[in-house]
Structure 1
């Protein structure tokens, strides 16, 4: 599931980086944790599977927060693993001690610290799965320093990949389909529209829906407008592209079909005077 790891090694995560490489994960050493986190985020966006950002405690973890927030807001799968103080030194003023789990909850879908060595596989599996399932985003796993070199009886480890509950780590993310009745309503609305417009966002690119969207545009003759991160789903030089007349297309559309896009600041929140007051939105 995870093929790439970016980070800066140091106490207590050196052995984690070594173990990852032994397991076949490609480790890329970086010079700054922020850059490492952005690099891992980019892999998540391009592949649809999370990469890992591995960092040390305290300042190392703090430097990743902008990358975590960026990944979470852009819906890109990402796993951040941070070393932390030993479990028996918590709240005692340990080296670079910081409330890492609590802090990362603001910038992630999932943030946890395994309670024991035996629990690590379950926590990692949940982090990987959560980063991809539903609306993708960043997840954080906190690893106490004393866990890194501890030994545990393998028979006591909760093996995810042999469990009946988790037959594989991880199964492909579920595909959600729209209600057929709602699809029929959308088709009927498109047929009635005088000036329909498709807006293609980065969600369409992330979902690799380019073939279906190109077929929709070509067979129905619908004009389309890509957002900056939606470019390339349908070629910019396509005859139905209205990117060169963006403002006019938005203003005169009486129905807009949003595909993997949000009505945020980039699309003027879908409000007048950029849009018609009575424009219909299908999302």
Structure 2
């Protein structure tokens, strides 16, 4: 039994570290997972294309959870007892672009696809299952339901991560500029206590996002979390008077800006002067899908 699914990366509108509420938007870059399930070979394994030493516990746990829920319900077949997942990604790991959420979403849907069981779970519940696996293996602080929901559903979502509840979702059509420095930043290592001190700004960002003022929300979020997480605000200041919104994405190190393409191309010329890579892409509204 084999299934394949692709999940989009995402950028941040509101980081959930301060209050437990977050917001993110899907972008047109993908992590793809191919899952094989076995009825005669016990255990779960994983591999990441091009990264032989990568931690694969999250995607392995995702397969296990899907199989625990649905693997013994395939009519006329013996129960599934093992599986293997291989992921390939356009999204750099630990860059703030929700690579873990995308990998989990793709793996969950690919596992269900292998079981011919994608109709047995809602898309929100698929995202919740991946979040549960992420919490279980310790790769997230907040549960990252904001990131997972944006990647799974597409568009921009606002969420209560403590309750794993989508507060709002809207399809958006933005051009997106991403700058990713060469260093990595793992969300599990972020200074949560320091982030909680900017909760008043996070509440303001949430209010803006729920009112559909996503651009202003992004920019306030970016300035606040750059201060809390000790990132340079220069990329935001360079762009903020010319774009719809610009922010640190997640706990960094990537920055994202949304606006019209011609303006973003001009900002890209500035951001290209820094070490790392830039990418000009768009938002994505389909969410995670089988391939």
Q: TM-score interval w.r.t. the shorter chain?
A: under 0.3
Structure with the greater alpha carbon radius of gyration = 1
Question: Of the two structures, which has the highest relative contact order with CA contacts closer than 8 Å and spacing of 6 or more?
Answer: 2
Which one has the bigger strand percentage?
2
TM-score, normalising length from structure 1? Answer: 0.24
TM-score in terms of structure 2 length:
0.23
